[in-house]
Chains A and B, each alone.
Chain A
Amino acid sequence: DQQVKQNSPSLSVQEGRISILNCDYTNSMFDYFLWYKKYPAEGPTFLISISSIKDKNEDGRFTVFLNKSAKHLSLHIVPSQPGDSAVYFCAAPGGSQGNLIFGKGTKLSVKP
């Protein structure tokens, strides 16, 4: 039973346009969400996070939106660059051990 879902395995976007990556969750107790970015042959790296007391958090070209009533969050990248091509994971600290529960990831391809 997936508690964090990323239903789009892949997304292709033209350079300069907006990339929107989506994530849904089922556990209403989740109060913090993170996005990780992963390049091939590397470990995930932290990108941006949001607390459930906010509905938006912005960091440069990256903005995360949280809709608690819909149990949905999205990551917006504007403008998209070819270097943004990677797999993006949505995660929530949901385990009793403090571990992160990850979605399956969305592979973003930004075409020049």
Chain B
Amino acid sequence: NAGVTQTPKFRILKIGQSMTLQCTQDMNHNYMYWYRQDPGMGLKLIYYSVGAGITDKGEVPNGYNVSRSTTEDFPLRLELAAPSQTSVYFCASSPPGTGYEQYFGPGTRLTVT
């Protein structure tokens, strides 16, 4: 099992550019999450999904979009990158019924200049 994988590991974007952060898990988990971590801060929830075809906003969704067409994949889309989106992005998954112990990917470090 690879667990939760994220690509790319690093990316530099110019203001106004768009990109998609990829996230894939091979544990057949229903629940998937996107968090961002700013320097010196804890992780904050951007979007989450409880299963294929079902997504919803978290605490900080502005400027992002997601889709969940399969159980395995949960991509995060940035449409018009802004410097405030400079952060480290983590994808996580968890099995249904607990939602507590989440498994995290290695993260994507994004810089918007």
B40, A98: Cβ atoms closer than 8 Å: no
Closest to B94 in A: A98
Interface membership of A100, Cβ < 8 A: yes
**Docked CA distance A91–B107 (Å):** 18
Count how many pairs of residues, one from A and one from B, have CB atoms less than 8 Å apart in the complex: 63
Chain B interface bracket (under 10, 10 to 19, 20 to 34, 35 or more): 20 to 34
Q: Give the size of the chain A interface in residues (CB under 8 angstroms).
A: 25
**Docked CA distance A41–B92 (Å):** 15
A93, B100: Cβ atoms closer than 8 Å: yes
Mask: chain A, 83-105; 1 = CB below 8 Å from B; 0 = not: 00000010101010111111111
A43, B40: Cβ atoms closer than 8 Å: no
Q: How far is the CB of A18 from chain B (nearest CB, A)?
A: 25
B4-58: which have CB < 8 Å to A? Answer: 4, 31, 33, 35, 40-45, 48, 50, 56, 58
**Docked CA distance A36–B105 (Å):** 13
Interface membership of B74, Cβ < 8 A: no
**Docked CA distance A39–B20 (Å):** 25
Q: A34-B101, A101-B42, A102-B42 provided; 7 other pairs, C-beta below 8 A?
A: A4-B42, A34-B100, A43-B4, A49-B100, A98-B31, A102-B43, A104-B42
